[in-house]
């Protein structure tokens, strides 16, 4: 995995640009777990990308929503994936679609009406990686230019606060800080992000704990549980299994 420097003009909407590639000619299964961020993906493969467990072939240029259930991308042979990881509010802002409609789903960008996506795809197919990244960056800027959706700044602040506190905060306190009633906050958050504030906080809390397991030499799940705000190790294990389908111990061989 390679992190690519992003154009400063798209920085308000794009968290990271990620390049995933392999020249190995065998079957690959790439696991993806909830992390709170939707994204735009372009793929180059010999036989396409299949989404598991749905077992369907994905378009080569698509938007994916919030990942809640664990999924895998199945690819036969060499591949290149370019992922523009969006901030959580960007789905509705850039494309005007209901984020909830694409939770655990993908949206074929060829369906976008106000941008010539087919021309963009034609360019992507014939160019090298650096040029492809520039083409997708220009595509995002075109979506921004043509957007007719106004951002909900209170929800953007709420999302930022949840991420910055690693999902460990009382949603009730956040709502009070924003001077929004519970019902209004729930409705506006779901409209912008596709999940409830509590769901999003749980996803972020899980994602930070998963990254900690990947990037450290921790041998104690109890330490990871407490450092990420879980009530105890049992709570951590239950949450982890909900988002991965396995316990942390069962997952270790797959993620280390």
Average pLDDT over residues 210-220: 74
Shared domain check, 177 and 128: no
Based on its alpha-carbon atoms, the radius of gyration of the chain, rounded to whole angstroms, reads: 19
Shared domain check, 67 and 183: no
pLDDT in tens, 150-202: 889 999 999 999 999 999 888 888 988 899 999 999 999 999 999 999 999 99
Q: How many domains does the chain have?
A: 2
Shared domain check, 44 and 96: yes
Q: Which long-range contacts (CB under 8 A, 24 or more apart) does 92-98 make?
A: 92/149, 92/191, 92/192, 93/13, 93/147, 93/149, 93/151, 94/13, 94/140, 94/143, 94/144, 94/147, 94/149, 95/63, 95/143, 95/147, 96/147, 96/148, 96/149, 98/191, 98/194
pLDDT in tens, 50-90: 999 989 999 999 999 999 999 999 999 999 999 999 999 99
The residue segments making up the domain with residue 209 are 153-255
User: Which of 102, 117, 146 is a domain's end point?
Assistant: 146
Shared domain check, 6 and 111: yes
User: Which of 146, 180, 198 is a domain's end point?
Assistant: 146
Shared domain check, 142 and 193: no
Shared domain check, 157 and 139: no
Q: Which pTM value belongs to this model? A: 0.91
Sign of CA dihedral 136, 137, 142, 148: positive
Are 153 and 192 in contact by the 8 Å Cβ rule? The answer is no
pLDDT class of 136 with cuts at 50, 70, 90: very high
Shared domain check, 135 and 225: no
CATH number for the domain that contains residue 78 = 2.60.120
CA gap 70, 81 in Å, rounded: 19
């Amino acid at each position: 995995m390679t992190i690519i420097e992003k154009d400063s003009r798209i920085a308000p909407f794009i968290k990271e640009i990620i390049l995933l590639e392999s020249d190995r000619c065998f079957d690959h299964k790439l696991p993806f777990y909830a992390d709170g961020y939707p994204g735009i993906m372009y793929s180059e493969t010999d036989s396409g990308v299949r989404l598991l467990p749905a077992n369907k072939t994905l378009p080569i240029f698509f938007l994916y929503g919030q990942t809640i259930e664990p999924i895998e991308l199945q690819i036969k042979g060499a591949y290149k994936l370019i992922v523009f990881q969006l901030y959580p509010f960007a789905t509705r802002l850039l494309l005007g679609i209901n984020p909830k409609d694409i939770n655990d789903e993908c949206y074929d960008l060829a369906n976008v009406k106000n941008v010539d996506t087919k021309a963009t795809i034609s360019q992507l197919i014939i160019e090298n990686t650096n040029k492809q990244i520039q083409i997708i960056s220009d595509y995002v800027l075109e979506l921004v230019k043509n957007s007719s959706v106004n951002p909900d700044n209170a929800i953007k602040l709420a999302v930022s606060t949840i991420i910055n506190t690693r999902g460990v905060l009382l949603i009730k306190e956040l709502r009070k800080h924003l001077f929004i009633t519970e019902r209004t906050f729930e409705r506006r958050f779901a409209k912008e992000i596709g999940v409830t504030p509590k769901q999003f906080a749980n996803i972020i809390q899980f994602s930070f704990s998963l990254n900690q397991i990947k990037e450290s030499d921790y041998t104690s799940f109890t330490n990871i549980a407490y450092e990420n705000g879980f009530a105890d190790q049992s709570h951590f294990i239950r949450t982890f299994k909900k988002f991965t389908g396995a316990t942390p111990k069962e997952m270790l061989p797959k993620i280390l």
